[in-house]
A = this chain, B = another copy of it.
């Protein structure tokens, strides 16, 4: 039988062009409080105070960090109403004597109880350290701080798309699966079908069975840059924002096996000072846009002692690599780690340099060629250097890395790693090539920076790191 009553059924919740199938959210109630109206609220009990006549309940639906206070007369109370339970309440919205919104309930219903003694890891009114909460990734979005973090992360994500659209960039979904390895670093994950009989059925002569699916090795991307460069030759400004991967046994508070990178490429870019100016503007503007969208949430989840946005009003520092070496050398008695000129700066060195410049974000420019990847462009004034930068910030160290790209076909060809299968990348310079430049910003590091949070595992919903891939 066809669902012939369709139109009638729809009308039970749809009352014309302006109606919404969505329930009212707390954030909307706060924006336009319908004082005196009967409303319904669905959410989770965050705290609860029983008094003689009434029970006071703070209810959150996760749309904002603010809870709505519900006043429940004693005849409506029952013992299923506890912290953590999900409930439906209806009632009249009023202003309290102190001017706060409160819902005077006339009906209540518990959807799902939350019986702590059945094994729920969080007790009411208790504070837990992030390491403890992190053990329960599936419950973590219910904690106040982490819910705020998720809304901040979401606000920053929306800001990225809005900002780059306003600057005429085209968003490119660069692939996760790729047959080349951008940096040539080698610490990559291979993607191999789990089904061995599928692989057997697909194998061609001369190809290893592990490579049968794509007829070649396929890796998880470490960067979208090379693919962005294909798109920038024709679109002028492109960006990507998505997960990237490192199969490294790094277990620091700054490393994840899966993390998000914002990468951008710009055509006709031939000056490092212009590129750094664009990066400076972008970091500042994205921070301001995130503040605009989620300032209270930022306050809730940030570590205030380590969070200081004074840099927003300052011009970022530019200093060349040789000067940084001199600063570190002049201050070697204050440093545990020695500078190894072939390996570059350690985290301790990065942190020292940012402090040295009063915690103002600092571009280190003009790096020794041998310390940077093959695709970076030689400095005009010094062929031992490349026109590259790292942007260092407080609490994090390196936040952004970028460079002008080598656009000379012959030079690039002589520098390209052997067996790299990058003929296509070279071809970009052979036909209608132009100067280009770009950068990559670690999104979790950006959140650590603007929030002053300590550990990168606490700014991503489902962190993956060596020996840990829960859920």
Interface, chain A (partner B; CB < 8 A): 1-3, 6-7, 9-10, 13-14, 21-23, 25, 27-28, 42-44, 60-63, 84-86, 88, 111-115, 118-120, 137-139, 141-142, 147, 150-151, 153-154, 157-158, 161-162, 165, 167-180, 186-195, 198, 201-202, 204, 213-220, 226-227, 230-231, 233-237, 242-243, 245, 247-249, 257-258, 260, 266-268, 271, 273-274, 277-278, 281, 315, 317-320, 322-323, 365, 407, 424-425, 427-435, 460-462, 464, 466-471
Question: Can you add 10 more A-B contacts, CB < 8 Å, to A63-B236, A138-B425?
Answer: A151-B170, A173-B462, A174-B461, A176-B220, A177-B245, A177-B469, A186-B195, A191-B245, A194-B219, A214-B469
**For the complex, what is the distance from the CA of A247 to the CA of B25, rounded to whole Å?**
40
- Does A234 lie within 8 Å of B141, measured CB to CB? yes
Query: Shortest Cβ distance from A276 into chain B, in angstroms?
Result: 9
Q: How many copies does the complex hold?
A: 2
**For the complex, what is the distance from the CA of A118 to the CA of B424, rounded to whole Å?**
14
Q: Which residue of B lies closest to A216 (CB)?
A: B469
Task: Report chain B residues within 8 Å CB of A277.
Answer: 10, 13-14, 21
Q: Which residue of B lies closest to A327 (CB)?
A: B2
- Does B268 lie within 8 Å of A42, measured CB to CB? yes
CB-defined A-B contacts under 8 Å, sample of 17: A3-B365, A6-B318, A13-B271, A13-B274, A21-B274, A22-B266, A61-B267, A85-B432, A114-B431, A115-B431, A119-B430, A142-B432, A151-B235, A180-B471, A190-B194, A192-B192, A204-B467
Query: Shortest Cβ distance from A56 into chain B, in angstroms?
Result: 19
- Does A153 lie within 8 Å of B138, measured CB to CB? no
Task: Report chain B residues within 8 Å CB of A141.
Answer: 230-231, 233-235
- Does A86 lie within 8 Å of B174, measured CB to CB? no
**For the complex, what is the distance from the CA of A175 to the CA of B257, rounded to whole Å?**
11
- Does A170 lie within 8 Å of B190, measured CB to CB? no
Task: Report chain B residues within 8 Å CB of A227.
Answer: 461-462, 471
**For the complex, what is the distance from the CA of A263 to the CA of B247, rounded to whole Å?**
28
**For the complex, what is the distance from the CA of A289 to the CA of B243, rounded to whole Å?**
26
